[in-house]
Amino acid sequence: MINSIAIRLNVAPKDGNLSFDISELAAMLPAGTVDNNVEMVYKELPKWEESVLQARARYQQTINNLADKYPTQNLLFVTHGEGIEVALSSFKKDVVVDKVQYCGYVQLKRPIFERDHSLIGGKFNVLTHSGQSGVTYVSS
pLDDT of amino acid 57: 94
pTM of the predicted protein model: 0.83
Query: In which residue ranges of the chain is pLDDT below 70?
Result: none
Q: What are phi and psi for residue 95, nearest 5 degrees?
A: -125, 155
What is the percentage of the chain residues whose pLDDT exceeds 90? 66
Cα–Cα separations (whole angstroms), residue 19 to 15, 44, 57, 100, 111: 11, 9, 21, 28, 38
